[in-house]
């Protein structure tokens, strides 16, 4: 049973072929560098363990232009299919990830926040209200914005993102949408 008392449908069909996805990890923090970035490292380890390719890793300050520049550079490179950010989704004045990235979304993935908060509630209860986790599409690249704690990153990747970035997840997954994301 999930936090809402519902049993989730769907799942991984191991007999189907796996398609690796190129995932970049962006940590947004005024206090961390790559060496002390534990939540970013959790994501890197999980991306690789899932069989995906690490498309990039960076740490930037809680600064709207820096966040946007890094995300835009990865997208312009054509070398990433998804970006997962960690940090800057809270309520304090320095938490600006949402303000930096949501205006760039061509389409917002509203259900991501809903499902993230359901699984987060099971872990941290009402403290999940302090997160503004969000996701969307920017020029055909999936962007998932997670809080900066290791627990939130584990919940976000393990219980939400990993299944949708697995081509074997049925009845559907985001990988199968990738060839059609830029359709006109």
62-85, pLDDT tens digit by residue?
999 999 999 999 999 999 999 999
Query: Mean per-residue pLDDT for 1-27?
Result: 85
d(CA 118, CA 113): 9
Angstrom distance (rounded) from CA 98 to CA 149: 16
Q: What confidence tens digit (pLDDT) does each residue in 42-61 have?
A: 999 999 999 999 999 999 99
Q: Which residue carries 């999980």 as its tokens? A: 46
Whether 4 has a pLDDT exceeding 80, the answer reads no
Residue with tokens 């600064």: 63
Phi then psi for 131, rounded to 5 degrees?
-110, 140
pLDDT value of position 1: 45
**36 vs 8, higher pLDDT:** 36
- What is residue 15's predicted lDDT score, i.e. its pLDDT? 96
- So what's the pLDDT on residue 178? 97
Question: What pLDDT does residue 7 have?
Answer: 76
pLDDT of residue 8: 78
Q: Measured between alpha carbons, how far is residue 79 from residues 54, 82, 141 in Å?
A: 10, 9, 10
| Tens-place pLDDT, residues 87-108 | 999 999 999 999 999 999 999 9
The pTM score is 0.95
Distance in angstroms (rounded) separating the CA atoms of residues 160 and 177 = 17
**Which phi and psi angles does 12 have, rounded to 5°?**
-80, 130
Query: Which SS3 state, helix, strand or coil, does residue 78 take?
Result: coil
**Which ranges of the chain does DSSP label H, i.e. alpha helix?**
38-49, 64-77, 97-101, 110-124, 150-156, 162-164
Could you tell me if 80 and 128 are in contact, meaning their C-beta atoms sit under 8 angstroms apart?
no
Return phi, psi of residue 120, to 5°: -65, -40
Q: Does the structure show a pLDDT above 70 at 29?
A: yes
Dump pLDDT digits (tens) for 150-174: 999 999 999 999 999 999 999 999 9
Model confidence pLDDT, tens digit, residues 115-160: 999 999 999 999 999 999 999 999 999 999 999 999 999 999 999 9
């Amino acid at each position: 049973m999930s936090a809402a008392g519902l049993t989730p449908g769907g799942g991984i069909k191991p007999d189907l072929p796996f398609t690796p996805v190129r995932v970049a990890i962006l940590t947004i923090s005024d206090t961390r560098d790559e060496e002390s970035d534990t939540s970013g490292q959790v994501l890197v380890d999980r991306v690789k363990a899932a069989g995906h390719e690490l498309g990039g890793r960076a740490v930037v300050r809680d600064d709207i232009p820096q966040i946007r520049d890094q995300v835009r550079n990865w997208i312009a490179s054509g070398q990433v299919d998804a970006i997962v950010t960690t940090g800057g989704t809270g309520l304090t004045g320095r938490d600006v990830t949402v303000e930096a990235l949501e205006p760039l979304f061509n389409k917002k993935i509203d259900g991501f926040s809903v499902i993230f908060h359901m699984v987060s509630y099971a872990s941290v209860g009402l403290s999940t209200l302090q997160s503004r986790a969000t996701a969307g599409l920017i020029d055909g690249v999936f962007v998932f914005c997670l809080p900066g704690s290791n627990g939130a990153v584990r919940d976000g990747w393990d219980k939400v993102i990993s299944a949708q970035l697995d081509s074997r997840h049925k009845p559907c997954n985001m990988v199968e949408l990738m060839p059609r994301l830029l359709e006109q």
